[in-house]
Amino acid sequence: MICNGVFEGGGVKGIGLVGAVCAMEDAGYKFENVAGTSAGSIVASLLSVGYTGREIKDEMIKLDFSRLKGQTLLTHLGLPGKAIKLLLKNGVYDADYIRVWLEALLHKKNITRFGEIRAYHTHGHDSKYRFQAIASDLSGSRMLVLPRDLHVFGLAPDKFSIATAVRMSISIPVFYEPYILTDSDGKSHVIVDGGLLSNYPIWVLDNRKTNPIIPTFGFKFSSSTSEEPRQNDYNSVLSISDFTKAMIRTLLDAHDKHYISVSRGDFQRTITISTIINKNDKEHDISSVDFNISTEDMEALFDNGYRSAEKFLRTWDFDKWKRQYRNETFRTAS
């Protein structure tokens, strides 16, 4: 069974996405077109070049997450050095380790450029490529869908590096140095994490103008033990720490929550993965930047993703979904 997949950003929590992918593949699904933001773009890019979920898991388990905080001489000087690095580079850590790691994995499949993953069957979206990543252009105050929007910079999408597009998408503001992209006029654009504008871009693979031939599934995280997607949630803001966390959460989630709340059927095709794991008989919520995550915690997140997808597929009915959210719309419009 062919399907499309859209993967939310989530830093080190990305292994949970891989668990859900494995459950989908075990159920007979194969991903045709994929998209993602930040960590979701890593998973999506690897699927687009032919990796299976199990292969991605094996590579992630071997990954040294402590090196994701790319250290420099300044960051080794502690807080003062990190403050100087932030002032000089607009980011504390270097993200090149992730790019180099991903580039090596792409080379194993002999696919490194977008021109090598052209989409011959788009199934309801207008991209020419099987993989798309979301990034944020701070200089241009706009969202970027890569590689589609590379023409804005005078760049040829076919020749553009897949790993570089992912590097743009994962550039968590302040935490990582932004990626600097130079346009055809010689102007430098500061590119950061796509989650700033759309952390869950399920809209990118569905133009809503055609009745879909194959399903598009979304894979999203939740800091709840419930595996059901939530349209509304509430977080108390009682301290400066709460305020900061709430502000970041709103930046990452507000656009996508609004989109899902007014869209037809997106909630019903979203597989929600809990980031809560049981650790020493206590519930523990895995953070996106928990780079000291243990192998055991990674396995627990993977299992959360696998179970979530299994549960979702027990009641999923594509024909029923189309009758409820699409077929009637197209009959009315015709």
**Quick check: 172 and 192 in contact, CB under 8 A?**
yes
Spell 21-59 as b/e; 16+ CB within 10 A means b.
Answer: bbbbbeeebebbbbbbbbbbbbbbbbbbbebbbebbbeb
Beta strands (DSSP E) in 138-231 are 142-146, 174-176, 179-182, 188-193, 216-222
pTM recorded for the entire structure: 0.84
Strand-pairing partners, residue 80, are none
pLDDT of residue 288: 79
Strand-pairing partners, residue 4, are 216
CA-CA-CA-CA torsion sign (109, 114, 116, 118): positive
Beta-strand pair 174-176/142-146: unpaired
Q: Coil, helix or strand for 36?
A: strand
Beta-strand pair 270-274/142-146: unpaired
Catalytic residues: 38, 193
pLDDT of residue 331: 46
Q: What is the DSSP letter of 50?
A: T
Beta-strand pair 30-37/131-137: parallel
CA neighbours closer than 13 Å in the CB half-sphere of residue 159: 4
pLDDT of residue 31: 96
Quote the CA–CA distance of 16 and 195 in Å, as a whole number: 17
pLDDT of residue 229: 45
Strand-pairing partners, residue 274, are 222
The amino acid sitting at 316 is W
pLDDT of residue 164: 96
pLDDT of residue 157: 94
Q: Whose structure tokens read 């992209």?
A: 181
CA–CA distance from 70 to each of 85, 98, 173, 194 (Å)? Answer: 12, 9, 15, 20
**Quick check: 153 and 184 in contact, CB under 8 A?**
yes
**Quick check: 105 and 51 in contact, CB under 8 A?**
yes
**Quick check: 254 and 248 in contact, CB under 8 A?**
no
The amino acid sitting at 248 is I
Of 56, 1, 58, the closest CA to residue 25 belongs to 1
pLDDT of residue 261: 47
pLDDT of residue 5: 97
220 φ/ψ angles, rounded to the nearest 5 degrees = -135, 150
215 φ/ψ angles, rounded to the nearest 5 degrees = -75, 150
The amino acid sitting at 5 is G
pLDDT of residue 84: 61
What does the pLDDT profile of the chain (334 residues) look like in tens digits?
A: 999 999 999 888 999 999 999 999 999 999 999 999 999 999 999 999 999 999 999 999 988 776 665 555 555 556 665 666 566 666 667 778 889 999 999 999 999 999 999 987 765 566 789 999 999 998 998 999 999 999 999 999 999 999 999 999 988 776 788 889 999 899 999 898 888 888 888 889 887 767 888 999 999 998 765 544 444 454 554 555 455 444 455 455 544 454 444 467 888 999 999 999 888 888 888 887 787 888 999 999 999 999 999 999 999 999 999 988 886 544 444 4
**Quick check: 301 and 277 in contact, CB under 8 A?**
yes
Q: What is the DSSP letter of 286?
A: P
Quote the CA–CA distance of 34 and 15 in Å, as a whole number: 17
The amino acid sitting at 260 is I
Quote the CA–CA distance of 59 and 55 in Å, as a whole number: 6
224 φ/ψ angles, rounded to the nearest 5 degrees = -130, 150
